Amino acid sequence: MGRLAGKVAIVTGAASGIGRATARLFAREGARVAILDRNGAAARETADDLGRAGADAQAWEIDLAQGAAAEATIAVVAERMGSINILVNNAATYVLRDFYQMTSEEWQTVLDTNLTAYFLCARAAAREMRNHGGSIVNICSVHRIITERNSGAYAASKGGVAQLTRNLAIEFAPDNIAVNSISPGFIRTPMSIVNGVDETTTENFMNYYVKSGRIPLRRAGLPEEVAEAALFLASRECGYLTGADLVVDGGLTITL
Ligand SMILES: NC(=O)c1ccc[n+]([C@@H]2O[C@H](COP(=O)([O-])OP(=O)(O)OC[C@H]3O[C@@H](n4cnc5c(N)ncnc54)[C@H](O)[C@@H]3O)[C@@H](O)[C@H]2O)c1
């Protein structure tokens, strides 16, 4: 029997990268999986893939930056798939922009997607979970600890996710809902492709992070490796874990 047998899981941003790997792993472990993504075609493709492998997976095309739509969709998911046990807040956007050039609209889009949507989805899912308990996993980033130029909105949003996670762990504890986060380092997904170049394969990345040992494991991570951490948190195999953050970065943030 799978580690998530009989559970209903929502994974946002599951049409690509870490979200897709998480949806796939959860389905393999017996969960029914709802895929929420603004890229409808890729979301349906992911759901179809999982369906062909024998899973119950359904896709919803939704722009999570549009506020209330997120809450309404989660209510519909619960109606169609059953009461929700697991939410993985994962969908996010990265705007690489010189700080002086960043527009208020760009700033707002990043905060709406990466932080406000996490809050709205968590609240809507918790309303479903409060009768039976559950697990919320927020995909954060090492940008909550360290950051770099041209990443102001993204770093601010991830700092917010870190603190939102701790606060929700307190708010939802009486309802037996665990809230934890994961902070990935460099992971090879479409998000690491900047201006058509996968930044985890550039000479600069290899010299600065890999050959120098700044990433002690001397490589970028894979989406499946983050999915494994999400499975551990979602499964609640450690019942005493809430308000914690798992750093999945090959050791990046422990080096000078
Ligand atoms: N890839 C990395 O190196 C890395 C590092 C640290 C943290 N993360 C975090 O991991 C998570 C997943 O990132 P990824 O690398 O898999 O990215 P990705 O770009 O491969 O996937 C992101 C998915 O989110 C969806 N999405 C974006 N905005 C949306 C919106 N407004 N509404 C609905 N769906 C939306 C996209 O369509 C896409 O399918 C994000 O929270 C990201 O911040 C990634």
- Residues 242-254 have a mean pLDDT of 98
Q: What is the pLDDT of residue 194?
A: 87
Tell me, in angstroms, the distance from the centre of ligand 1 to residue 107's CA: 16
pLDDT, mean over the chain: 97
Kindly report, residue by residue over 202-227, the tens digit of the pLDDT: 999 999 999 999 999 999 999 999 99
Residue 255 corresponds to which tokens in the numbers above?
A: 């080096």
- Test site for ligand 1: of 11, 12, 18, 60, most ligand atoms within 8 A of the Cβ: 18
Residue 243 has pLDDT above 90, yes or no: yes
Kindly report, residue by residue over 121-141, the tens digit of the pLDDT: 999 999 999 999 999 999 999
Q: Is 187 in the pocket of ligand 1 (CB under 6 A)?
A: yes
Tell me, in angstroms, the distance from the centre of ligand 1 to residue 1's CA: 30
Tell me, in angstroms, the distance from the centre of ligand 1 to residue 93's CA: 6
Helix (H, G, I), strand (E, B) or coil at 15: coil
- Residues 7-13 have a mean pLDDT of 98
- Give the number of domains in the chain: 1
- Test site for ligand 1: of 62, 111, 114, 189, most ligand atoms within 8 A of the Cβ: 189
Q: What is the pLDDT of residue 213?
A: 98
In a domain, 117, yes or no: yes
| 12 within 8 A of 19, measured Cβ to Cβ | yes
Kindly report, residue by residue over 64-117, the tens digit of the pLDDT: 999 889 999 999 999 999 999 999 999 999 999 999 999 999 999 999 999 999
Residue 256 has pLDDT above 90, yes or no: no
In a domain, 202, yes or no: no
In a domain, 133, yes or no: yes
Question: If you take atom 21 of ligand 1, which residue's CA is the nearest one?
Answer: 16
Residue 92 corresponds to which tokens in the numbers above?
A: 């996010």
* C-alpha torsion sign, points 114, 115, 118, 121: negative
Kindly report, residue by residue over 156-176, the tens digit of the pLDDT: 999 999 999 999 999 999 999
pLDDT tier for residue 195 given thresholds of 50, 70 and 90 = confident
Q: What angle do CA 86, 91, 94 make, to 5 degrees?
A: 150
CA 256 to chain centre: 27
In a domain, 36, yes or no: yes
**In CATH, what number is assigned to the domain containing residue 121?**
3.40.50.720
Establish whether 154 is a catalytic residue.
yes
Q: For residue 149, what are the domain limits? A: 8-188+222-254
In a domain, 233, yes or no: yes
Q: What is the pLDDT of residue 89?
A: 98
CA-based max dimension of the chain: 54
In a domain, 217, yes or no: no
In a domain, 1, yes or no: no
Kindly report, residue by residue over 12-46, the tens digit of the pLDDT: 999 999 999 999 999 999 999 999 999 999 999 99
Locate the ligand 1 atom nearest the alpha carbon of residue 21 and give its number: 16
Percent of the chain with pLDDT over 90: 98
Q: For 28, phi and psi rounded to 5 degrees?
A: -60, -30
In a domain, 87, yes or no: yes
Q: What is the pLDDT of residue 68?
A: 87
